[in-house]
Structure 1
Amino acid sequence: MAEDEPWTGDDHDHNDRCHVRWQVSLNRSTAQSCYRDEWYEAQCGGCRFWIALSGQLGQDYGACSNPGSSFDGRVRFEHDGCESFVGRADGSFG
């Protein structure tokens, strides 16, 4: 992509590097031995306050808009979670 073109968010190499960087800020990782079963149903992607990003990054990442969460205003991985989870009334994810 040329620097004078508008950013579309669809640069695979850039997105892969973002994913690697952003994974270090996970609150809950399913790979952790202390991961609780009940957290599986309370992941960010299913929270009513999770807003998916656009472009390829939006397939896995979104912004938290929950004023009661310590992650409010931050980009979060859809499979992460927090204590302020509020499920969507329709049960959708992503």
Structure 2
Amino acid sequence: MSIAGEPWTGNDRSHNDECHARWMSSLNRSTGGPDYPDEWYHEQCGGCRFWIALEGEMGLDYGACTNARSAFDGRVRFEHDGCDTFTVREDGSFG
């Protein structure tokens, strides 16, 4: 947790684990499912040009979608999730 007068960075393991458990229930695509097409491994949120990582420890796995064409615009997304409007980053980076 934060020290009085300092901004909270979100780097609290217990809080982050609780968030991760809640947020995983809203995945659009499960990478572990038998119906997960191979091409989706290359079309994950973390590699989309419209995905912006959160700050702090949560940013290692989560970011915000900023694609106006996506159903997830303005929502926090898991970096390994994805959607139909995925747009590859020109530099090929991830995360």
Please report the TM-score for the alignment, with normalisation by the length of structure 2.
0.94
Cα offset, 1:26, TM superposition: 0.3
Number of equivalences: 94
Q: Write the deviation string for residues 40-74 of structure 1: whole angstroms up to 9, x where unpaired.
A: 00000000000000000000000000000000000
Aligned to 2:60: 59
Aligned to 1:90: 91
Query: Where do 5+ consecutive residues of structure 2 fail to align?
Result: none
Please report the TM-score for the alignment, with normalisation by the length of structure 1.
0.95
Query: Where do 5+ consecutive residues of structure 1 fail to align?
Result: none
Write the mapping of 1:13-92 to structure 2, written as runs, cut at 5 A.
Answer: 13-92=14-93
SS of aligned partner of 2:39: helix
- Residue pair 2:48, 2:88 contacting (<8 A) in 1 also: yes
Distance 2:62 2:69 in 1: 19
